[in-house]
Amino acid sequence: MSFAELTEFDFHARMAATGGIALVMFSGPDCGACRRMEKHLPQWLSDYADHFYKVDVQRSTALARAYEVFHLPALFVFVDGHYHGPLHAEAAPAPLIAALGKLISEPAREEP
């Protein structure tokens, strides 16, 4: 499973139309940590997330500002098109799985 690219022009429509659990990673082309996360996240979370998306912050600056992305990579979770919030965890399988489980068990939030 690989990351599908999103831009600020198709982000909201594609998220609204996405069923299941979607993980969105805001990244940049010069971000080494982003490349590592892009390589490992589908392996680590394929049993828990249905879709993986990425947003290039250099191309979609308005979207990065709207989601208050200050550090890369930044991860956000959507369930059946509804925003559930940022995913904050150590970049390792067990902490990410635990944080994702907690986040999807909470009610959806209003998007930034």
CA dist., res. 7 & res. 109, Å (int): 21
What's the pLDDT at 25?
A: 98
What's the pLDDT at 83?
A: 98
Residue type, 102: K
Looking at domain 4-105, its CATH class is alpha beta
Give the residue extent of every domain in the chain: 4-105
pTM here is 0.95
Asked if pLDDT for residue 51 goes beyond 80, the answer is yes
Spatial CB neighbours of 10, under 8 Å, sequence gap ≥ 6 = none
